[in-house]
Amino acid sequence: DAKTTQPNSMESNEEEPVHLPCNHSTISGTDYIHWYRQLPSQGPEYVIHGLTSNVNNRMASLAIAEDRKSSTLILHRATLRDAAVYYCILRSFGNEKLTFGTGTRLTIIP
């Protein structure tokens, strides 16, 4: 499985935008970039995914570099509820398996 690299931890002030980076230099053409997050004492939850183009949904935006070797998850206005571990995952089409890395622990400062 292609690997991803994320910072271990990040902090952000409440109500400010958050940019969570992810490097995936060995990404293949069939790999989708998925983001999941895990809130304390809960199972992971889906945030967003994309292939080549930038993506937006009600939770976040995903900006994908032109060469696809990196991506950034953007939370437009962080709330205390966004404090979680965020996982960037590469998933090839047709493969159900999610390979989780260590993720980024996001702390929101009130």
Smallest distance from another protein to CB 101, Å: 7
Cross-sheet strand order for the sheet of 18-23: 18-23, 70-75, 61-64, 55-56
Nearer Cβ to another protein (16/45): 45
- How many angstroms separate the CA atoms of 104 and 110, rounded? 19
Smallest distance from another protein to CB 16, Å: 28
Contacts with another protein, residue ranges (CB under 8 A): 30, 32, 36, 42-46, 49, 87, 91-103
User: By the 8 A CB rule, do 68 and 83 touch?
Assistant: no
Nearer Cβ to another protein (5/13): 5
Nearer Cβ to another protein (93/110): 93
User: By the 8 A CB rule, do 55 and 72 touch?
Assistant: no
